[in-house]
Amino acid sequence: AFQYSLNRTLLRFFVLKGPILLSLRRQSSVSYAQSLAGAPETRLTALDNGLRVASEETGHATCTVGLWIGAGSRYESEKNNGAGFFLEHMAFKGTKKHPQTALEQEVESMGAHLSAYTSREHTAYYMKTLAKDLPKAVELLSEVVQHCSLNEADVEQQRAVVLRELEEVEGNLQEVCLDLLHATAFQGTPLSYSVLGTLSRQDLVEYLGSHYKAPRMVLSAAGGVNHEELVGLAKTHFSGLSFEYEGDAIPVLSPCRFTGSEIRMRDDAMPLAHVAIAVEGARVGSPDIVPLMVANSIIGSYDIKSGGGKNMSSRLAAMAAEENFCESFQAFHSSYSDTGLMGMYFVTDMHHIEDMMHWSQNAWMNMCTTVTDSDVARGKKSLKASLVAQLNGTTPICDDIGRHVLNYGRRVPLAEWDARINAVTPKMVRDVCSKYIYDKCPAVAAVGPVEQLPDYNRTRASMYWLRF
């Protein structure tokens, strides 16, 4: 869920070649808002079994098509934690109709790219291919999802691969730190589980039977696609998907409570400390989402390798650059179905941990008290650029459609986001940030040489007294 909240640069915004930006170039006399309103329509159709089919025709010679499923580590238990991630890996080991070699040859012969990912609430299987090969792509995806081969030999072989990947992930300290943040912030609830894990064949079969149901799936496509053709392909290949649960045992998500707390993994041999601090954020669909997104855009991000220095518009970034407080930082907001995490992640040496904690919390307090018209205007422009930049190509558009339909029941168009962003005022930012940040208990996760990380009680107190 974190990767979708990172801020993108304005430079990338101006070099995009997507339909929205091409429209802006061709119609220089048309306003930005009018160009967004003229963006391709996202069409949505529901099959009799509850499967939803959504597409956006952009006129590309290529397309991306995939299945987005409302299942992930949030739907797992301690016993089967990691089932979704393991199934993602098993998907490419062949199906009942196409053994692994045959599946790989089919994909290769199309010049296509088949991939998948698992997050805390979503799983996706998708393929990027030539538009003319859409029927074959949908057929292969239906095989991968509905008829994945789960023989014992393949499961055991893949277990070794997953274990190696787990070792590699342990070397990505940003992922480690953010997993720890979820573990402490949502302790005792399914949102604390990592996506990663290894399981038995029986665990995988039970997970498939419990969660891979038609009403929780979206067949999404973007690019050179015809919606009627896509609906016809969905009826051919996915009409047999079950919409019933054994014994009416429909999985219901248990509520996830946020716990202000701290977790540290101290290792003084590491050169840099990785620290994340967060408060409970807004859930998906909350009206508070957009003001919080604007606030995060105002705080911004910084990387010592990217330049900018003290002339950066973000006050925290300018201070970090001028005083050498950190190697990098980024504000983030991860939203889930009933809760969220709003926070900051930074990387610094052991001598500046306290400085970064102080000024990060100070930036939050500024959002609650002193944010100005110019701050909000800048944050709005940065956020709009980020939203457009994320839709560079058919694959991110397809992903956006799939996640939106699962989260909101529809694709929220950019024109609507633009209108909601324009409606944000400095008072809205101050009020919403006060609601989520001021005098709240934060969750803190830290990895590395973190001896100088302030005591948690002191960090907690700063959520109050830094306002004055």
Query: Rounded to whole angstroms, what are the CA distances from 141 to 92, 242, 382, 397, 399?
Result: 10, 16, 37, 18, 15
Q: What is the pLDDT of residue 23?
A: 46
Q: What is the pLDDT of residue 250?
A: 66
Q: What is the pLDDT of residue 22?
A: 46
Helices 152-169 and 83-90: crossing angle, nearest 10°? 110
Beta bridge partners of 340: 335
Q: What is the pLDDT of residue 425?
A: 97
Q: pLDDT tens-digit profile of 321-356?
A: 999 999 999 999 999 999 999 999 999 999 999 999
Q: What is the pLDDT of residue 9?
A: 34
Q: What is the pLDDT of residue 249?
A: 65
Equal fold, 2-8+35-243 vs 261-465: yes
Which residue in the block uniquely carries the two structure tokens 């001598």? Answer: 351
What single DSSP character describes residue 455? P
Percent of the chain with pLDDT over 70: 91
Tell me: pLDDT of 80 over 80.
yes
Helices 289-299 and 353-369: crossing angle, nearest 10°? 130
Q: Does domain 2-8+35-243 have CATH number 3.30.70.100?
A: no
Q: How far apart are CA 18 and CA 392, in angstroms?
A: 6
What single DSSP character describes residue 441? P
Q: How far apart are CA 367 and CA 386, in angstroms?
A: 20
- With H, G, I as helix, E, B as strand and everything else as coil, classify residue 74: helix
Q: pLDDT tens-digit profile of 234-270?
A: 999 999 888 877 766 667 777 899 999 999 999 999 9
Residue in 330, 434, 437 with CA at minimum distance from that of residue 382? 330
Helices 289-299 and 426-436: crossing angle, nearest 10°? 100
Asked if 338 and 255 count as a contact pair (C-beta separation under 8 A), the reply is yes
- With H, G, I as helix, E, B as strand and everything else as coil, classify residue 147: coil
User: In this structure, what token pair is assigned to residue 247?
Assistant: 């014994």
Residue ranges covered by each domain of the chain:
2-8+35-243, 261-465
Q: What is the pLDDT of residue 10?
A: 31
**Residue 274: alpha-carbon gap to chain centroid:** 20
By the 10 Å C-beta count (0-12 exposed, 13-18 middle, 19+ buried), 377 is classed as middle
Strands, DSSP E only, in 91-143?
A: 113-118, 123-130
Query: Rounded to whole angstroms, what are the CA distances from 425 to 32, 241, 420, 421, 431?
Result: 20, 46, 11, 9, 10
Asked if 447 and 265 count as a contact pair (C-beta separation under 8 A), the reply is yes
Q: What is the CATH number of domain 261-465?
A: 3.30.830.10
CB atoms near residue 174 (< 10 Å): 15
Asked if 439 and 279 count as a contact pair (C-beta separation under 8 A), the reply is no
Phi, psi (deg, nearest 5) at residue 464? -115, -55
Residue 447: band (very low, low, confident or very high) from pLDDT cuts 50, 70, 90 = very high
Tell me: pLDDT of 19 over 60.
no
User: In this structure, what token pair is assigned to residue 274?
Assistant: 């990785």
Q: Report the length, in residues, of the chain.
A: 468
CB atoms near residue 72 (< 10 Å): 24
Q: Which of 56, 57, 88, 121 is catalytic?
A: 88
Q: How far apart are the first and last CA of the chain?
A: 34
Q: What is the pLDDT of residue 49?
A: 93
**Among this protein's residues, is 170 annotated catalytic?**
no
Residues contacting 413, CB < 8 A, separation 6+: 36, 39, 42
Which residue in the block uniquely carries the two structure tokens 């974190």? Answer: 2
Q: What is the pTM for the complete model shown?
A: 0.88
Which residue in the block uniquely carries the two structure tokens 């590491």? Answer: 270
- With H, G, I as helix, E, B as strand and everything else as coil, classify residue 310: helix
Q: What is the pLDDT of residue 468?
A: 57
Q: How far apart are CA 24 and CA 446, in angstroms?
A: 44
DSSP notation for 341-355: EEEEEEEE-TTSHHH
Q: How far apart are CA 181 and CA 1, in angstroms?
A: 13
CB atoms near residue 164 (< 10 Å): 10
Residue in 344, 324, 333 with CA at minimum distance from that of residue 275? 344
Q: What is the pLDDT of residue 210?
A: 83
Q: How far apart are CA 391 and CA 222, in angstroms?
A: 11
Residue 173: band (very low, low, confident or very high) from pLDDT cuts 50, 70, 90 = very high
Q: How far apart are CA 257 and CA 439, in angstroms?
A: 18
Q: How far apart are CA 281 and CA 278, in angstroms?
A: 8
Q: pLDDT tens-digit profile of 374-392?
A: 999 999 999 999 999 898 8
Per the prediction, the chain carries an average pLDDT of 88
Q: How far apart are CA 451 and CA 276, in angstroms?
A: 15
By the 10 Å C-beta count (0-12 exposed, 13-18 middle, 19+ buried), 283 is classed as middle
Residue in 337, 364, 359 with CA at minimum distance from that of residue 346? 359
